[in-house]
Amino acid sequence: MDAFFDTFDQKTGIGHIIRSSNGEFISARTNIANDTTAEEGECKAIYSAVRAWLDNQLKDLVIETDCQNATHYFNGLDVNISLVVSSILNQVKDLAVLFNYMYVLNFVLDQGMNVLIFWQLMQRLATTILVSF
């Protein structure tokens, strides 16, 4: 999932693609929102992806995001976020109990080690149920 924030128009384009653990396409969505920050748009994209996961009746969730504050928030670290962003992420947390596990991964392609960490995570998920929160 990802978001694009247009500072001139104060509009955010959000979207996500859901794939199986084998990489098979399941669904995709896009939307346009009126946001005040890029972080708000990223968090709305996370929420949208989680709702779509539930709509497809999937129970195991790994979210890849480049929104570091959201990743830290879900992992219980202190973050400086707005009340709007906090509200969106709390809604995601409320939905998280409906999954077998939900793992939020900060994934920025220019940080090469994240690719290795991601694949190691996928191997662990094949045999382990992760519980966040």
49-66 pLDDT, tens digit per residue, is 899 889 988 888 888 888
Question: pTM of the full predicted structure?
Answer: 0.75
1-10 pLDDT, tens digit per residue, is 777 777 777 7
Mapped to the 3 state alphabet, what secondary structure does the chain carry?
A: CEEEEECCCCEEEEEEEEECCCCCEEEEEEEEEECCCHHHHHHHHHHHHHHHHHHCCCCEEEEEECCHHHHHHHCCCCCCCCHHHHHHHHHHHHHHCCCCEEEEEECCCCCCHHHHHHHHHHHHHCCCCCCCC
Name all domains of the chain by residue range, CATH numbers in brackets: 2-125 (3.30.420.10)
Residue 85 has pLDDT above 90, yes or no: yes
